[in-house]
Chain A
Amino acid sequence: MNAESSPAFQGVAPLPGVPKPDPILVAAGVERSFGGLRAVAVDRLEIQRGSITGLIGPNGAGKTTFFNLLTGFDRADAGTWHFDGRPLQGKRAHQVARVGMVRTFQLTKALGRLSLLDNLLLAAPGQRGERLAGAVLGGWRAQEAAHREQAEALLERFGLAPLSRHFAGTLSGGQRKLLEMARALMARPRLLMLDEPMAGVNPALRQSLLAHIQEIRTEGATVLFIEHDMDVVMGTSDWVVVMAEGRVIAEGPPAAVGADPEVIDAYLGRDHGKAAGA
């Protein structure tokens, strides 16, 4: 698997907020409070292009809130963030998605009374038939046919092809996670942000999801994923970021983070030092 020898991270110091050689996402001073609770206070975080970055942290660390802020689903009290050099703070969720930053949700949002195929077709970017005039005048069917082929290929890849005509509302919890990931991919993201993609997915399926995540990176996209399963994080990530109480308290190659006493204190507990260091 990925040892700390990931070439892109050569010479990057394992310090919170450390600059990366080629960041696709740079966040600075991002803050969000709920009443008196400071849910997110990230001084600086850069995500290396073409990498798989794992984001870990105890429950309530602010990981999901941080995702919400970056993707326009919540408003930050302060801070800036740039995607590919373009400032994104203050942009609305759909605008964020359109520039190529696509997220999934911790609590899956399957579109219940749409078929699996329609769930995927919806995600295709730049559809002519999505404009009212285009829908009336027609001329979108050729494009739709091409999208349908892509959608069917994706469903195949995620093992959902036999269900493609079923309503998404009939899927099991784990299948919904798969569907949501396939749907996000259909949007052709440059940065894919997954919020606990493995939660509720059985071990066999987990392996194939892991393979998918690696594949996404191979195809040129960047992946940032939140995950609680340490084996998954340590095995899949090129780089691991640790949040606690809203802050980034550590980041570095998986092995280094797994051995960091501060991280072990804050999050991993005593047992995990050995497993990750192995």
Chain B
Amino acid sequence: MDLVKILTDSLRAAIGVPAAAYALAATGLNVHFGYTGLLNFGQVAFMLVGAYGTAVTVNEGGPLWLGLLVGIGLAVALGLLLGIPTLRLRADYLAIVTIATAEILRYVTRSRALQSLTGGVFGIQKFANPFFDLNPIPPGRYGFGTFNFSHRQLWVMAVGWLTVGLILLLLTVLLRSPWGRVLKAIREDEDAARSLGKNVFAYKIQSLILGGVIGALAGMLLAIDTQAVNPDTFISILTFFAYTVLILGGPGRILAPVVGAVIFWFLLQFTDGVLRGALEAGWLGSAIEGNEVAAIRFALVGLGLMLLMILRPQGILGSREELLTDER
């Protein structure tokens, strides 16, 4: 088993484009859940409209920037669509409606009726060339030893993490403002916020849209990185991975999604590498087979998460004091 290679592979995954995309998706959930107390179980729907908005627009001949705007516009529309009927009701209604909507949207994009636009089950490929044309990094591989990236990967990573950075900066400003204080008050007790003259519904809608647009950016990033959108990428498990990332980091902390995403992807790749290495070395006998590794690593990550919740329920960045105040 080549431990150095496993480690470098894990490090590459920890800072790769999918990690940046998960950090964005989880950042959106942090706005919803961590700061406003909204249970959005359909973050993947926002990712889907972001990705498809971009891919379809470019595929139909539009410029890339327009595609990005369309993706954002669709996320705003989706936020309104989900929020207006549910956010006046009890918290669980949003959860039910969002998870259902995510599934419906996936089936709609997959449907034969829309095949001419969305490509149906085949999706859309090779729409992000204008993005890669902008790459200022000369062709080649960069890094040392097995820890290296292509100029193409580096370009998407740079843009991805820069987006993460800018979003976190914006959120820091917002959440330290009186606006952010109202969101947190709604998270704690929305009737108290109402009794002090805050239009709780309007703030919830704003929160849902803001976090949803950040989710859409995550979808765009994944789509551009792979130069492909496919309906079956956007399944509900993605929402729950984003929650895993958030809870790992500690909801209600600005940096939690970044810390969570880096650790999540590192662990995923690391367990994968170790399992495959052990398999090749014959240490596992016939206990597991190669095609079971992917499933087993998720089971192991789940186990790790359970241990974290037992040992550090507030997440890696969360504060114990804050957690305890909930109990009264």
Contact = CB atoms under 8 A, between A and B. Distances in A.
Interface in B181-223: 181-182, 184-185, 187-189, 191-200, 206
B195 A103 contact: yes
A105 B191 contact: yes
Interface string A175-214: 0000000011001000000000000000000000000000
Interface string A80-96: 00000000000011100
A136 B210 CA distance: 13
A105 B195 contact: yes
Interface residues of A, number: 41
Nearest to A167: B325
Contacts of A276: none
B325 A109 contact: no
B185 A111 contact: yes
A135 B326 contact: no
A122 B196 contact: yes
Contact of A129 (B179, B198, B252): B179
Interface centre among B170, B185, B196, B325 (most CB of A within 10 A): B196
A144 B328 CA distance: 30
Contact of A97 (B188, B197, B252, B325): B197
A53 interface: no
B194 to A, nearest CB: 4
A132 B76 CA distance: 15
A251 to B, nearest CB: 26
Interface stretch (A21-29, A112-120, A216-224, A258-266): A112-120
Contact of B180 (A72, A128, A135, A183): A135
Interface string B157-186: 000000000000010011001111110110
B178 A130 contact: yes
Contact of A111 (B179, B184, B199): B184
Contact of B181 (A72, A102, A118, A134): A118
B322 interface: yes
A93 B194 contact: yes
Contact of B206 (A92, A93, A132): A132
Contacts of B193: 94, 122
B182 A169 contact: no
B170 to A, nearest CB: 8
B181 A169 contact: no
Given A111-B184, A122-B185, A132-B206, A94 B178 contact: no
Contact of B195 (A97, A114, A130, A144): A97
A113 B188 contact: yes
Contact of B188 (A73, A105, A114): A114
Contact of B173 (A113, A118, A135, A187): A135
A98 B185 CA distance: 17
B2 interface: no
B133 interface: no
B321 interface: yes
Nearest to B200: A94
A119 to B, nearest CB: 8
30 contacts: A73-B191, A94-B196, A94-B198, A97-B196, A98-B197, A102-B197, A105-B192, A105-B195, A109-B189, A109-B195, A111-B185, A112-B325, A113-B188, A113-B326, A122-B181, A122-B193, A123-B196, A130-B181, A130-B198, A132-B174, A132-B206, A134-B177, A134-B179, A135-B173, A136-B174, A140-B178, A167-B322, A168-B325, A183-B196, A187-B197
Given A132-B174, A187-B196, 18 more contacts: A73-B195, A94-B193, A102-B195, A105-B191, A105-B192, A109-B195, A111-B184, A113-B325, A114-B184, A114-B185, A118-B181, A122-B185, A122-B198, A127-B178, A135-B179, A140-B178, A144-B178, A167-B321
Which 6 A-B pairs give the minimum distances between C-beta atoms?
Answer: A169-B325, A129-B178, A135-B177, A135-B179, A97-B197, A109-B192
